[in-house]
Structure 1
Amino acid sequence: MGNILEQTKKQLDEFYTNMDKKQKIKIGASGLIIVLSITLLMYYLTRPQYVTLYDELNPKKAGEITKKLDEVGIPWKDDETGNSILVPKEYKNTAKAQLAMEGIPGERFSYESMLTNSSLTMTNEERKNRYEIAQTNSIAQTIEAIEGITWAWVDLTIADDSNFITQNKKSKASVFVELEEGYKLNKKQVDGIVMLVTNSVKSLDPKDVSIVNNKGEVLTKSDNGEEFDASNQLALQEKVQNELREDITGFLATIYGNGNVAVMVNAKLDFDSEETSVLAYEPPIKDETNGLVRSMNESNEKSVNNPISGGVPGIDSNEGEIPEYLERTSSGSEYNKNNKTINYELNETRKKLVKAQGQVKDITVAVLINSNILPGKELTEENKNEIIGIVSASAGLDTKVVKVMAKSFDNTIADRFEEIKNERTGITVLKDIPVWALGVIGVFIIGLLGFIAYSIQNRKKKQETERKMSTDLLIDEEFDEIEISEKSEYKKQINKFVEKNPQAVSQLLKNWLNEE
């Protein structure tokens, strides 16, 4: 058996040795293709077959599932959309069992389930109910994708738009959210959830959406206007104070230098809600006191009384025995009355003014100056008044109190830190050198090093060339001498041999001629 193998190996070696280079390349390429084909075929036949474990997942749920799969050592991969998780077929049941023990991901009825599980015998009412369940679960999954929310539940009451119902009911929505430990939704996030639910349900008013967290707190408010909770108020107040402190500190640092000014700001903000309605009338024509005439009513009234003449009292005028009276004559009277009513058309303006919440009510500022940098280490009254004026102007008109004081700053730690930094970085020597000078020095050093390196390299090349030339010349001379000496020696020996054996030489020449 050993001889057969040895003989076979020897034949293969001879066969390979007798092949030319082109044949060897063809055989090598063919062998490589065969090996790769077998490898790919084995990988395709033995590779794990991945099946869908869960689909329609939000990023948060997908992260929880993949984390648990990594913990139990089950391989997984996601699809192109990133909403589905796939595992090897043989691990599917094990993975579902492991996740079910942790309550992940929580079964929900989806739109896909509604479509795949529907049948022809299903009534319209059943289809409607299944659609509403799928809709609520879809909204809940979307809400769970919001930061800070671990779980969400949605209940919808959708108004029936049937024409047979005379009394239309309003659509309503209730949302329950479970938050992460210590997390609290801000107003923008709550408004975002309200708008999400409102736009997902037909005929749903934002006022009819209520959101409750796992602590039983109602996150939506029924009244109008923006409201700030305690955390938002504190955050806004701190933001205003920090911005004012940074502005004032930076402004004063341009005069006294960085690290020589300390500022403390206390700002009070007004979070009260106030609404004012204004109704104003004004003439439509500018610079006119009267408006356009809308209607006019004018009436005139006149009354005249005629005089009455009386006779002489006595027998002629009055029959009978009547006593006599004095004679009297009454004169006539006249009454005139004019009434004119004009109704003007005026512009009517209605305004509704809502005061913005979070306005600055008053500001108090305390400024501390490092006395070590002041002349005489004291702050004069004039300088103090100047600082108060600058701070009041920069902080705004709401600045109520500004206090300024000069004290010596304790810079021991800062100085020590600077010394350590200089010792480590070597900045002490270069501390007073301008930046442009350091740049010039750096360029000069780099150029000098480059010139030195070039000179050394050029010198080495020159020496190498000279050495090579001298070596070649020496070799040529030696070869010439050897050649001349060898030729002279051979010639002497031939001449000597011919002189001693002339017959042998002639016979040798004849043989050479006959062979030719």
Structure 2
Amino acid sequence: MQETIQQMSNQVTEKWNNLTKKQKIQIGIGIVAVIITIIIISILMQPKYKVLFSENIESKTIADVANVLTENNIKYHVINNSTNIEVVEDQYQEALMYTASSGVTENGMTLEQLLNNDMSTTQNELNLKNKEYLKNSLQNTLVKIEGVQEARVELVVPEEKNAYLQSQAESSASIFLTLSKPLTSSQCEGIANYVALSVQNLNTKNIVIIDSTGVTLYSGPEEVGTSLGKQQELKASAENELKQKVINLIGNMYDDVRISPNLILNFDEYQETNENYSSQGDDPSRGVIIQENEVKSSSKNGSTGDIPGTDTNGGDTITYQNEGEATSESRDSQKEITYAPNKQSTIYKKNSGDVDLDKSSLAVNLINNRLYKEEEVQLLGKTWSEFKEENKGQKILDVDETVINSIRNATGIKNVVVNAYENPIFLDQEAYVIDYKDWIPYILVVAVLILIAFVILKFRKQEDVVEVEPELEVEEMLKAVKEQVELEEIEIKENLETKRQIDKFVDEKPEAVANLLRNWLTDEDWE
């Protein structure tokens, strides 16, 4: 193998040395052009990168993010002294998803940092660390709510030396949210309740939530009743639900369904109390005894007694029968009973925000698209511009009564108006457009191949050149023939002289010639 390489190297060196200076320059230029072309193609084919984080973060977090990206086969580069990462632009969304789901990018004070204290840590420092940890914990929780991209929490927690005053002091909080979509009032109220329960002595009336546009989303609990903002939210929610019902019902029958509901919601608060009384048992005058009072009294009158005086009469006393004198007795009884009849109380309270279906209305526009292609219209013998001008307006279509009845039954609204239209769509014939950017790599490759082929052909053509002797004039030809004849005569004379010397040698020394021939024959036999 080494000998083959050495041989090829020698051949290349030999061919290179045989080239002229001009040929060497051409080959050098060709090689440089090939290298430049390869570099340009490599630059054009390199993927574009996008910075993953808007702000620089800690190197330890960068290392965790790099591990997550490596596990999910995402190409990345560490930049800014290991404080940020850039990923391939096509994989940017995937990188965001994986890093967010892994939770490695949650910034702020950790529990380990909170507990890392020593003897020199003061109480104020501990309070500040507790407050910072609580803020970061709330922020990391709020960004997990759907629709919240970023969250910033500021807490004001009064610090009192007296424990009683500390328990009575009220805290406050302000929350700044960057939203990807609007939050409902229920979501804002839930955020306020969560923060209030997480911070000591914090009431929802001392919480304010705003978004990045400066709109106040929450500024304390609402008063009794339904606020105007919540009324609009309830109405929008009811209308969206109604729209979805109609779309689910007839959405597949038409290309486009446009719904415009006008729901009337009654937010009046109404409460009614009814009390019904009835007797118990068969006797309508009787019921359950709830109170009973009875009073009794009696008196009795007897005969006359002894004579008045200070002393009693001794012995038997003489009595006289009086005609008008007699004994009397009286008795009195009173009874009072209070009966309770059956009593039934009914309280009727009307829900606030109910839809008044009789006063509400609904308008539905149904649209079917009709496609017109330029190449098909040209077959009809019309120009494309004239055809579009003639058919640019929408056409009204008939609506089946069953569709209207279906919408009424699905929504409960009787006042329903349904219109149908045919919408023309004109498809122009696509012109063939060449995107030169897509063809640049192929053009460069072809150019390189042509350049290489040109250099190879140029090199081989030089090897195949045969030098042709220039044509001689007549005088030069005659001179050359004369010189050739003279040379042939000299050669003949030399041959004759050699033959004469050989004959003389044979005549003078025949024995030596015989020995020489014998030796020649012997050598041939041996071979």
Give the greater-gyration-radius structure (CA): 2
TM-score past 0.5 threshold = no
| TM-score, normalised with respect to structure 1 | 0.40
Structure having greater relative contact order (Cα 8 Å, sep ≥ 6): 2
